[in-house]
Amino acid sequence: GPKVLQIPSHQIIDMGQMVTLNCDPVSNHLYFYWYKQILGQQMEFLVNFYNGKVMEKSKLFKDQFSVERPDGSYFTLKIQPTALEDSAVYFCASSLGQGNTEVFFGKGTRLTVV
């Protein structure tokens, strides 16, 4: 079936440094999402992106976070600067449409900020 690929699967970064998480969404999908999951806890919505713009973001999407998808390439989540509390698994997702269309999730990138 359709797959969302996330690269890398695990990243370790020093606090204060910048990190970019990459996501290769399903090829014909138009809506893109990032979710954050702290170990053993709930999946929390971060942001939704469509047509080059952020459509909706949560309170977890801090000013240090940004997303983009330049020229249909990877959909990226950038954190600059990183903080210890940013350590979590970040899941990328994509969907063809809104409402009743299925959302496909990647396997996640485990970010460890030290």
Of the ranges 13-21, 47-55, 62-70, 75-83, which one interacts with another protein (CB under 8 A)?
47-55
Residues with Cβ within 8 Å of residue 112, at least 6 apart in sequence: 10, 11, 12, 13, 87
- Binder among 20, 64, 80, 98 for another protein (CB under 8 A): 98
- By CB under 8 A, is residue 103 in contact with another protein? yes
- By CB under 8 A, is residue 93 in contact with another protein? yes
DSSP assignment, residue 100?
T
Per-residue burial over 78-103, b if 16 or more Cβ lie within 10 Å, else e, is ebeebeeebbbbbbbbbbeeeeeeee
Of the ranges 20-28, 49-57, 62-70, 74-82, which one interacts with another protein (CB under 8 A)?
49-57
- By CB under 8 A, is residue 60 in contact with another protein? no
